[in-house]
Structure 1
């Protein structure tokens, strides 16, 4: 019995023809794309931004945000802890140096002052008693010295008299010896009395110095305690405006706690936050500018705080001239901070194209203005308005500076009116 053979749908020859056809179509497509300059996209010129490359003055700067602060701020801390008993002024008051702001009470501190004063008065009383005793002792020793001196004078007189009488054989030798011995004895007593007086004088002087030093130390301690008690009345350290006062009647404040601050309103400064990326390029003396009420004002960096917090650090800036009229504490300013000196450079305005290209290429408009094609470029520094062009463009070239987010891998734009 014959077995029917199923006829194949595609033989090897047909498969070869089909494959060859596909390859031919692919080749034609590639040639068309290659010769046509890549993928194109029609865009309306009114929907894009076209800028002209130009040469001009360029200065690298960065935008920073600043806050207006008083030129000087003095913080008020509780020098001694206590309970708020009385408030003399309210927050926002204008203060003169030395004026009271509030009063604290601290019974332990006040009791210590009373004890210290009592100790000083007791010491003063002891000093007076010691001085009186020393004076009396000195008087007694002087009286003794006078008696000894009188005895010496009498002994010398008798000795000299007996000596003359003995020479005339009016008295015997025994009497002369007795007078001579008494004279020598009185002389030794006199020398001893003089030494006692000298030692007494030294002792009194030393004791007086010790008592005086002890009294001075105790008096200093008392004065310190009085100042500590006086610190319970918080006073304005300088002329200025009282702000941020945090104290209510009955509150307890610990030593060192912040009570408020005094702002000196004789001038202003600006504290600005800057990205840590620029910390190595920021130094005192650098200048920035801002616009206020239609006028341009210049600021100069006076202090750089190198501590970085949340990726940012701070600088204090002061006005190069007079502060603009009408500026207020707490006001925010948009500042252009210069990072370089002004120079001549090739410039293109900043735009959204940079986010897509990273500044490596840009769509350059043809001379006829009908198309824009990709052109490799190199950008340098930037400021708030312009990019510096290092290569790839010439003055007068026109480029598309708006966003490229919708262009994908498009190689050429067809510009339509």
Structure 2
């Protein structure tokens, strides 16, 4: 409490009306009241700041940043736009089987060649000397084999002659035995002489049997040895043929007919074994190699039909081969033409194609937009009827093409959804849409 002192006039000795003045005290707020009032004011400010501040589950977004689309009924065309490049239907790569120095070039890059046509000639002194040494070695071994085979034949003939001689001697001994036997019985031939004749006859018979057994054994061994020698000779001949074929590889020939490309070797250039020297593309036949988003890996199958338009005329193709390896979010397919091919297509040219995945169906549709990459099609922001807010809603989406996405559940025709990118909004459950 503040006390104001009123300054009084000097009093005279005589009593006046001034003796009637008194002190007037001015009253204010107490300190406690001021503290309570300040606390209430701060609390109100905090409440106001919390109320008007943006919440973590919601965010204010300018309407110009958003693309708002209608959910509607329509016909869903199950197709996939593809961008592919024209490549030859068949490509055969040319590699140097044997290294060497380029001595002669007989064709130019881009020329049309026939199968077996000579393209270039190489030289390789080491390979040529090695082949000559191989030929000499093989020739010596073949001569040795022929000598061995000749000796075996001579041995066989010698066995035949011995057997013939043994048969002859046995026949002579038999005749002598048959002549002396009746004479010996009558005493006209001495017993000792007849016994010698009998022993000689038995010896010749046993000698003939032994020679036949030896000949049979030699025949088996010689037959087996000759078979091995002939097999060895064939192997040596094959080795010699391979050596000569390697030498012939210095003459580069076209393995197939077609257009020769990437053939840029020069006379005097040294080529390493296995080095790529060019390629031959199949003439008049092409295919389209297209990249497909990995999302469709389970839906693309061989035999599906694709179409392109050239000069206002449609051309049909089919999926001939699928490469399941995913690279940079895509896998590749080969598309082959059914029937005639468009004229004027060049290798490496980019072609826009349309791959049909299924038949057209009646369905609920929303436009295809960037939101799908952010949500994976599991939820969307649904705009309120007044257009001032949007809430997050779980949905089930089906097939999609370049224009529309099929709605399976969660949205009704007539509703509006945000189909633009949800970048920075994926953690929000609601949006406040600001309009000018």
Does the 8 Å contact 1:291/1:297 carry over to 2?
yes
Shift of 1:398: 8.7
Task: Give the length in aligned residue pairs.
Answer: 393
Partner of 1:181: 199
* TM-score between both structures, scaled by the size of structure 2: 0.73
Structure 1 counterpart of 2:288, from 270, 279, 295: 270
Tell me what 2:19 maps to: none
- The answer for the alignment partner of 1:384 in structure 2 is 402
What is the aligned counterpart of 2:140 among 117, 122, 144? 122
Tell whether the 8 Å contact from 2:389 to 2:431 is kept in structure 1 after alignment: no
1:394 aligned residue:
413
Q: Note the C-alpha offset of 1:379.
A: 7.5
310 and 85 in structure 1: CA distance in 2 versus 1, 3 angstrom threshold:
farther
1:103 to 121, 128, 140: 121
Query: Cα–Cα, structure 1 residues 70 and 6, in superposed 2: closer, same or farther, change >3 Å?
Result: farther
Q: Distance in 2 between matches of 1:310 and 1:399?
A: 30
> How many angstroms apart in 2 are the aligned matches of 1:92 and 1:119?
43
- Contact (CA 8 Å) 1:361, 1:374: kept in 2 or not? no
Match of 1:360 in 2: 380
Tell me the residue number matched to 1:282. 300
* Aligned CA-pair RMSD: 4.3
Cα shift at 1:213: 1.2
- CA 412–391 in structure 1, closer or farther in 2 if over 3 Å, else same: farther
1:276 positional shift: 3.0
CA deviation vs aligned residue, 1:232-291 (integer Å, no higher than 9, x gap): 222222111111224222333333222221111242211112233433333323344443
* CA-CA distance at 1:118 after TM superposition: 1.6
- Which stretch shows the higher mean deviation, 287-296 or 215-224? 287-296
Greater radius of gyration (CA)? 2
* 1:93–1:14 CA distance, 2 compared to 1 (3 A): same
CA contact (8 A) 1:148 1:190 kept: yes
Q: Please state how far the C-alpha of 1:201 moved relative to its aligned partner.
A: 3.2
Q: Distance in 1 between matches of 2:328 and 2:3?
A: 86
Q: Choose from 153, 165, 168 the match for 2:171.
A: 153
Residue equivalent to 1:169: 187
Q: 1:267 to 1:175 in 2, by over 3 A?
A: same
Distance change >3 Å, CA 262–CA 16, structure 1 → 2: same
Separation in 2, partners of 1:384, 1:174? 124
2:301–2:319 Cα contact (<8 Å) kept:
yes
The TM-score, its normalising length taken from structure 1, stands at 0.76
Match of 1:36? none
Of residues 305, 318, 324, the one that matches 1:306 is 324
Q: Which runs of 5 or more structure 2 residues have no equivalent in the other structure?
A: 5-24, 52-59, 424-429
Q: Which runs of 5+ in 1 are unaligned?
A: 31-38
Question: Residue 9 and residue 383 in structure 1: after superposition, are their counterparts in 2 closer, same or farther (change >3 A)?
Answer: farther
Q: Structure 1 residues 185, 311: closer, same or farther in 2, change over 3 A?
A: same
What's the secondary structure of 2:297's corresponding residue?
helix
Instruction: Assess if the C-alpha contact under 8 Å between 2:305 and 2:355 holds in 1.
Output: yes
Report how far residue 301 of structure 1 moved.
1.9
SS of equivalent residue, structure 1 residue 234:
strand
- Secondary structure of the residue aligned to 1:159 is helix
Alignment partners' CA distance in 2, 1:157 and 1:355:
115
SS in 2 for 1:305: strand
Establish whether residue 258 from structure 1 lines up as the match of residue 258 from structure 2: no
Q: Which residue in 2 is equivalent to 1:91?
A: 109
Whether the 8 Å CA contact 1:57–1:343 is kept in 2: the answer is yes
Equivalent position of 1:33 in the other structure: none
Q: Does residue 329 in structure 1 map to residue 338 in structure 2?
A: no
Q: How has the CA–CA distance of structure 1 residues 137 and 336 changed in structure 2, closer, same or farther, with 3 Å as cutoff?
A: closer
Change beyond 3 A, Cα 1:172–1:136: same
Deviation for aligned residue 1:217: 0.8
Write the distance in 2 (CA, Å) between the matches of 1:109 and 1:298.
52
- Any conservation in 1 of the 2:380–2:418 contact (CA below 8 Å)? no
In structure 2, relative to structure 1, the CA distance for the partners of 1:158 and 1:59 (3 Å cut) is same
**Structure-2 change in CA distance of 1:373 and 1:352 (3 Å):** farther
The structure-2 alpha-carbon separation of the partners of 1:53 and 1:137, relative to structure 1 and needing over 3 Å to count, comes to closer
Check 1:55–1:171 CA distance in 2 against 1; reply closer, same or farther (3 A cut): same
- Counterpart CA distance in 2 for 1:87 and 1:270 is 33
Query: What's the offset of the Cα at 1:362?
Result: 5.9
Q: Whole-Å Cα distance in 2 between the matches of residues 273 and 387 of structure 1?
A: 21
Residue 230 of structure 1 aligns with which residue? 248
SS in 2 for 1:360: strand
* SS of structure 2 residue aligned to 1:265: coil
